[in-house]
Chains A and B, each alone.
Chain A
Amino acid sequence: MKRIKLFLAAIIVAAGFVSCSDNNNDDDIIIEVNPLEGYNMLTKLTANTHSIEIYSEQDQFTIGYNELFFRIKDDAADTYISNAEVSWMPVMHMTEMQHSCPKSSVGVTDDTSVYSGYVVFQMPGNDTEYWEMTFDYSIDGTSYSLTEKIDVLAPVNDKRRVTVFTGSDDVRYVLAMMPLDPQVAVNDFSAMLFKMESMMSFPNVADYAIMIDPRMPSMGNHSSPNNVDLSYDATSQMYNGKLSLTMTGYWKINLKVMDDDDTLLKGEDVTDENEASSLFFEIEF
C-alpha cells in the first residue's frame, strides 16, 4: 500500500520574526498547507513537464464508486496549477474490446488547485486487461494530454459495491453504491444509476426507483425494519434512501430497480423460497 504520509508543507516565517517580535503580525506569516492532507495519493502520472497527483479517501482505485481529487503540478516551477480546464477519460483495455465507465465531469474545489470528480469502475484490471486514465487539460491556451495505466483492484473485503446488469428493457445499466461507513443505526444510503449508451458513454439515469431489502444470510436471512427505498434526487443526481442495520456483520442489500413507469427492470423479491435477489450490494462491518 502506498499510503503516503503527508506533512505540513514548508512554513515560511517572515524575516525579523525571530529577532524582533514587537510589531510582528499574522499577515507576515505565509503558511502553505497541503489541501489534501489526510487523503491518500493513489498515483502520480507524469508527462509534459507536469505531474498529476491523484488522491482519494480510499487507498486504491477500487471497483465501484471512487471519489477522486487531483492536482496538476508544474514540475519545473514546483507550483500547482490552478483553474486549468480539465477533462478525463478512463478506458479499460480488454482482450476483445475497449470500454469506459460512468464518470463525472471534472470540477474545481474551493482550493482552485484541487480538481475533483468521481469514476465508477465496473471491473478490476488483471494481468492482461487494464485500465488507462487520460487527462486532457489546457494551461494558458496550450493543450496537453496525459495517459497512463492505473491499477483498479477489487475491494479488500471483496464486497460488492457496483453491479452491471441488463434490464428487462434490454438496456445495460451500471448501479453503484455510494461509499458508506455502516453503523448499527438508520444509515443514509445512496446509489447512482447509469445507462450504458455506448462503450464510451454512461449517462446518469433519473427518476427510476431502487427498492432495498437488507438481509443477514448467516442468521436465517433476517431483515431489518424501517428501511426507505431509494428515490431520485435531481440535485445530487443520486438515489437516496435509508438503510437500517440492526447489528454488525455481513449484510446483503437485495435490490430491485424499477423504471419511471414502475416496470421492474431487474431484481426479485426475497421470499422463503428465494433467498436473495440477483441484484444486490454487500456490506460487512
Chain B
Amino acid sequence: MQIEIGVVPQYSIGVRPERFICFLGILCCLLFAIQTHAQEKKVESVIDSILPVNLEEVIIVASYDHTLEHRSQHKPLSTLDEYLESSRKVSMIKRGAYAWEPVLNDMSSERLSVTIDGMRIFGACTDKMDPVTSYVDVSNLKEVHVSGGQQGAEQGSVIGGSIDLKLEKSDFVEKGWFGSVETGGETSNAARILGGELNYSDSKFYVDTDAIYRKADNYSAGGGDEVAFSQYEKYNLSTNAGYRVSEGKKLSASFIFDEARDVGYPALPMDVSLARAYIASVSWSQKSFLKHFTDWETKLYANKVTHVMDDSKRPDVPIRMDMPGWSDTYGFYTQANLRLESHRFLLKLDGYYNRSLAEMTMYPEDPDENSMFMLTWPDVRTFNSGFYSEDMIPFETGYLKLSTRLAINMSNVADEFGLNSLRIFYPDMPQRKNRFLKSVSLQYYKDLDKFHVNTGLSYGDRAPSVSEGYGFYLFNSFDNHDYIGDPELSNEKALEANAKVSFKGDRLSTSIEGNYFFMQDYILGEVDPSLSVMTIGAEGVKIYKNLEYAHLFNISWENEYDITPVLKWTGILSYHRGVDDDNRNLPFISPLTYKSGLQYAQQGYTGSISMKGAASQENFNPDFGEDKTDAYMVFSLSMGKIFTIDSNTLYVKLGVENIFDEYYSTYTDWKNIPRMGRNFFMNVSYAIN
C-alpha cells in the first residue's frame, strides 16, 4: 500500500442541506440580536504572563472572580473533558460519557505528562479508564496549560507534550469571604450538576473550598437511541490554603478528594464501580532565594488512586471478573528562576516514586472450581528523578529558549508472583531496569511587526509505560487483542521540529502552526501469532514492540476575526498524519477537522454559535480495530446573561449542542460509539461577594 504523507485526502461533508439552511437562519437571528445592544469592551482572555516564545495554549476554566468561565466557555459547567475538547490542540478519546483520555499531537497518556499543579499522578486502570484528568473537576481548576512536544519537558520526560492542570487559588487577594453556587442540567443524559465554593482570603491567609457533584443517566445518540452503560456519578471536594509567613514567603497546601461511582463505559466490556483519588500537597515559596534566585518554589506531594472495574451489570459476559487497580505516587519538585545579565534561567529538580498494581480474578461457571487469578500490573515501582533547566535569551525583536531535561528512571517489579508471571515470556528478565532519559530543545521566536515566527527543534525520549513494559494480558476491546508488555523495550525517542507563523492585524489574527515528529523505536503492540489469547473471544495477542521508526505530522490553521468589537469569529482547520516504518497508518490519527464559531459578548449578554466537523477518516489502522469513520458536522448554540443583584452576580447560560441531532462518531470514539445527540443545557451560577 502506497501512502503519501502530507496529501490531504478527499472528503465529503456529511450534513444535509436543509440543516445548513436552518443553521444560517439561526445565525441571522443571532446577528440581528447583536444590533440591539450597545458596545462593550471585548473580553480579555489572553494570559500575558506567557512569553510568545512558548507555543503554549491556555484553556481558561475559571475567571478572575472564581466563577467558571462564563464568557468564553459556551457551557461553563461542562466537564473538564469538554473544556479540554474545546481547546485547539487537545482531542479526547472516548470510551463513554466519562473520563475521556486527552490526546495531544496525536499522542495519548503514555507519551504525555498530565500533571495537577506540577504533580505527577498516574491512573490506576490497566484499560485507561481513568486518565489523570478524570480526578479533578472544573470546580477546582483555574486553567489548563497545554505545551506540545519537548516544550512540555518542564513537567517530565515526554514525547507528545504536557498538560498541566492549574488549581484555582485565592492567593492572598484581599477579598474576605466570598463564594458561589452553581447548578446545571442537561437533557440528553438528564445530567444534574451542583457545585459551590466558599473562600476566605486576606493578605495573610486564604482558604478555598470547592465541591461539585455530577450525576448523569445514559445519554441518547443522535436520532434518539439510548446508549446503554453511559451513566456516571461523581463528586469532587477540594481545599486549598495558604499562609504568608512573612513578606515574600508563603506556605500553602492543597487537598483534593475525587470519587466516581457507577460509571458506565459503553465502548468497553466492563464498567467502573469505584474510581477514587486522594491528592495532597504542601509547598513553600519564596520571592527571593540565595541572593540571585527568585520565585523559589518547593512542593511535596502524594496521591493515591483506586480503581475498581465491575461487570456485574452487564447481562452476558463470557466470564465474571474483578479487576481492581491501585496507583500511588509520592513526589517533589523544587524550582527557581535566575537572572544573569540578559539570561533568564529556570532550574528545576524533581522526582517521583510510583507504585502501580492491578489484579484480575476470574470466576469460572463451575462454583467448585478455583477462581483464576493473575497480576496484570505486577506491582511496578518506578522511581524517576530529573533535572530541568531552561535559558531564555531575549533579543531586540525576539527570544531564544534553550532547555534540557536529564532524568533517571528506575523500575522494579516488586511482586514475586508478578515477576514470575512475566518471566514466562522473558525468562531472563531482570527484576530492575534503569534508564537514562534526556531531552534538549531549542525554540526561537522573532517578532516582525505584524508577523511573528516561532521555530523549534528538539529531541527527547521516554521510558515505556507500566502497561507497555509490564502489562500482563491487558485486553484492548478496540482491536480485540490481549496485550503483553516487554520489560526490555528500548526508550522511545523523538526528533521534533515545529514552526508557527502568525499574523496579528487590527481585526484579523491568523496563524499556521505545524510540527513533525520523527520517532525512533516507536512503541506499538504487534501481533504475535504464536501466542494463545487469554480473554475469551479475543482475536489474538499483541506484544509491545519498538518499531524502527514512525512519522507524525500535524498542521493547523487558526483564524480570529473581530467582525465588530463585540462579535468575534474563530475558525480552525487541522490535519494530522501518522505512519510507521512500514507505511501503515498509526492508530488514533485525526482526519481533517475544522471548527468555526461566532462569539458575541456585550453588556452582560453572551452568545455563541459554533460548528465542528471532520472529513472522513481515510487513514485508519484496521489492525487496531479502526475503520473509516464518516465525515460529520455538528452545530451548537449558547446564550448567556449576567445579572447583578446587589453586589452579587448571577450568570445564566442556556444552550443546545448538536442542534440537528446528528448521529455521529469521531476517530477518537472507542469502537465507534456514537456521540451525544441533541442536548439542551442550562447553567446557573450565583457569585456572592
Q: Which residues of A are in contact with B by a Cβ distance under 8 Å?
A: 183-186, 216, 218-220, 222-226, 244-250, 284-285
Listed from nearest, the 7 A-B pairs whose CB atoms lie closest are: A249-B372, A185-B420, A218-B364, A223-B532, A220-B536, A247-B374, A248-B373
Q: Does B477 have its Cβ within 8 Å of any Cβ on chain A?
A: no
Q: Does B10 have its Cβ within 8 Å of any Cβ on chain A?
A: no
Structural contact, B365 and A186, CB atoms closer than 8 A: no
Could you give, for residues 410-438 of chain B, a 1 whenever the CB lies within 8 Å of some chain A CB and a 0 otherwise? Answer: 00000001001101110100000000000
Q: Does B650 have its Cβ within 8 Å of any Cβ on chain A?
A: no
CB-nearest residue of chain B to A245: B424
Give the distance to chain B from A278, nearest Cβ to Cβ, in Å: 21
**CB within 8 Å for A226 and B364 given contacts A247-B372, A248-B371:** no
Taken together as a complex, chains A and B put the C-alpha atoms of A216 and B427 apart, in Å, by 22
Taken together as a complex, chains A and B put the C-alpha atoms of A66 and B427 apart, in Å, by 31
Give the distance to chain A from B317, nearest Cβ to Cβ, in Å: 12
Structural contact, A218 and B369, CB atoms closer than 8 A: yes
CB-nearest residue of chain B to A218: B364
Structural contact, A249 and B370, CB atoms closer than 8 A: yes
The answer, among A184, A186, A225, A245, for a CB contact under 8 Å with B532, is A225
Select the residue from B366, B535, B536 with max chain A CB neighbours within 10 A: B536
Taken together as a complex, chains A and B put the C-alpha atoms of A244 and B417 apart, in Å, by 13
Q: Binding site of A, secondary structure by majority: helix, strand, loop or mixed?
A: loop
Give the distance to chain B from A266, nearest Cβ to Cβ, in Å: 23
Select the residue from B318, B360, B374, B427 with max chain A CB neighbours within 10 A: B374
The answer, among A219, A224, A226, A244, for a CB contact under 8 Å with B319, is A219
User: Restricting to B274-324, which residues have a CB under 8 Å from any CB of A?
Assistant: 318-319
Question: Which interface class (under 10, 10 to 19, 20 to 34, 35 or more) fits B?
Answer: 20 to 34
Taken together as a complex, chains A and B put the C-alpha atoms of A218 and B371 apart, in Å, by 10
Give the distance to chain A from B544, nearest Cβ to Cβ, in Å: 15
CB-nearest residue of chain A to B534: A222
User: Restricting to B322-381, which residues have a CB under 8 Å from any CB of A?
Assistant: 360, 362, 364-366, 369-374
**CB within 8 Å for A225 and B425 given contacts A184-B420, A249-B373:** yes
**CB within 8 Å for A225 and B533 given contacts A248-B371, A250-B364:** no
Structural contact, B370 and A216, CB atoms closer than 8 A: no
Taken together as a complex, chains A and B put the C-alpha atoms of A34 and B364 apart, in Å, by 44
Structural contact, A216 and B372, CB atoms closer than 8 A: yes
Give the distance to chain A from B470, nearest Cβ to Cβ, in Å: 14
Give the distance to chain B from A247, nearest Cβ to Cβ, in Å: 4
Structural contact, B533 and A220, CB atoms closer than 8 A: yes
CB-CB under 8 A from A226, the residues of chain B are 424-425, 427
Taken together as a complex, chains A and B put the C-alpha atoms of A226 and B535 apart, in Å, by 18
Q: Does B508 have its Cβ within 8 Å of any Cβ on chain A?
A: no
Give the distance to chain A from B267, nearest Cβ to Cβ, in Å: 22
The number of A-B residue pairs with CB atoms under 8 Å apart is 81
Structural contact, B372 and A185, CB atoms closer than 8 A: no
Give the distance to chain A from B472, nearest Cβ to Cβ, in Å: 8
Q: Which residues of B are in contact with A by a Cβ distance under 8 Å?
A: 318-319, 360, 362, 364-366, 369-374, 417, 420-421, 423-425, 427, 472-473, 530-537
Q: List 28 A-B contacts (CB under 8 A).
A: A183-B417, A183-B420, A185-B423, A185-B424, A186-B420, A186-B423, A186-B424, A216-B372, A218-B366, A219-B362, A219-B372, A220-B536, A222-B534, A223-B532, A225-B425, A226-B425, A244-B424, A246-B421, A246-B472, A246-B473, A247-B362, A247-B373, A247-B374, A247-B534, A248-B372, A249-B362, A249-B364, A249-B371
CB-nearest residue of chain A to B484: A225
CB-CB under 8 A from A186, the residues of chain B are 420, 423-424, 427
CB-nearest residue of chain A to B417: A184
CB-CB under 8 A from A222, the residues of chain B are 532-534, 536
**Further contacts, 9 of them, CB under 8 A, given A218-B372, A222-B536:** A183-B420, A184-B373, A185-B420, A219-B534, A225-B532, A226-B425, A247-B360, A248-B370, A284-B370
Give the distance to chain B from A270, nearest Cβ to Cβ, in Å: 10
Structural contact, B370 and A285, CB atoms closer than 8 A: yes
Structural contact, A184 and B421, CB atoms closer than 8 A: yes
Q: Binding site of B, secondary structure by majority: helix, strand, loop or mixed?
A: loop
CB-CB under 8 A from A185, the residues of chain B are 420-421, 423-424
Structural contact, B374 and A184, CB atoms closer than 8 A: yes
CB-CB under 8 A from B531, the residues of chain A are 225
Structural contact, A250 and B369, CB atoms closer than 8 A: yes
Structural contact, B369 and A284, CB atoms closer than 8 A: yes
Structural contact, B364 and A219, CB atoms closer than 8 A: yes
The answer, among B370, B373, B421, B473, for a CB contact under 8 Å with A250, is B370
The answer, among A225, A248, A250, for a CB contact under 8 Å with B374, is A248
Taken together as a complex, chains A and B put the C-alpha atoms of A248 and B370 apart, in Å, by 8
CB-CB under 8 A from B534, the residues of chain A are 219, 222, 246-247
Taken together as a complex, chains A and B put the C-alpha atoms of A264 and B627 apart, in Å, by 46
Taken together as a complex, chains A and B put the C-alpha atoms of A248 and B533 apart, in Å, by 16
CB-CB under 8 A from A218, the residues of chain B are 319, 364-366, 369, 372
Taken together as a complex, chains A and B put the C-alpha atoms of A216 and B371 apart, in Å, by 12
CB-nearest residue of chain B to A216: B372
Select the residue from A218, A244, A248 with max chain B CB neighbours within 10 A: A218
CB-CB under 8 A from B530, the residues of chain A are 225
CB-nearest residue of chain B to A157: B370
Taken together as a complex, chains A and B put the C-alpha atoms of A185 and B419 apart, in Å, by 8
CB-CB under 8 A from A246, the residues of chain B are 374, 421, 424, 472-473, 534
Give the distance to chain A from B483, nearest Cβ to Cβ, in Å: 14
CB-nearest residue of chain A to B366: A218
Taken together as a complex, chains A and B put the C-alpha atoms of A245 and B425 apart, in Å, by 11
CB-CB under 8 A from A183, the residues of chain B are 417, 420
Taken together as a complex, chains A and B put the C-alpha atoms of A222 and B535 apart, in Å, by 8
Give the distance to chain A from B370, nearest Cβ to Cβ, in Å: 5
CB-nearest residue of chain A to B362: A219
CB-CB under 8 A from B371, the residues of chain A are 248-249
Taken together as a complex, chains A and B put the C-alpha atoms of A244 and B532 apart, in Å, by 12
Give the distance to chain B from A155, nearest Cβ to Cβ, in Å: 15
Structural contact, A220 and B370, CB atoms closer than 8 A: no
CB-nearest residue of chain A to B536: A220
Taken together as a complex, chains A and B put the C-alpha atoms of A285 and B417 apart, in Å, by 14
Give the distance to chain B from A160, nearest Cβ to Cβ, in Å: 15
CB-CB under 8 A from B417, the residues of chain A are 183-184
CB-CB under 8 A from A285, the residues of chain B are 370
CB-CB under 8 A from A224, the residues of chain B are 424, 532
CB-nearest residue of chain A to B419: A185
CB-CB under 8 A from B420, the residues of chain A are 183-186
CB-CB under 8 A from A250, the residues of chain B are 364, 369-370, 372
Taken together as a complex, chains A and B put the C-alpha atoms of A216 and B374 apart, in Å, by 14
CB-CB under 8 A from A245, the residues of chain B are 424
Structural contact, A225 and B372, CB atoms closer than 8 A: no
Taken together as a complex, chains A and B put the C-alpha atoms of A245 and B374 apart, in Å, by 10
Taken together as a complex, chains A and B put the C-alpha atoms of A245 and B373 apart, in Å, by 11
CB-nearest residue of chain A to B427: A186
CB-CB under 8 A from A219, the residues of chain B are 319, 362, 364, 372, 534, 536
CB-CB under 8 A from B374, the residues of chain A are 184, 246-248
Give the distance to chain B from A154, nearest Cβ to Cβ, in Å: 15
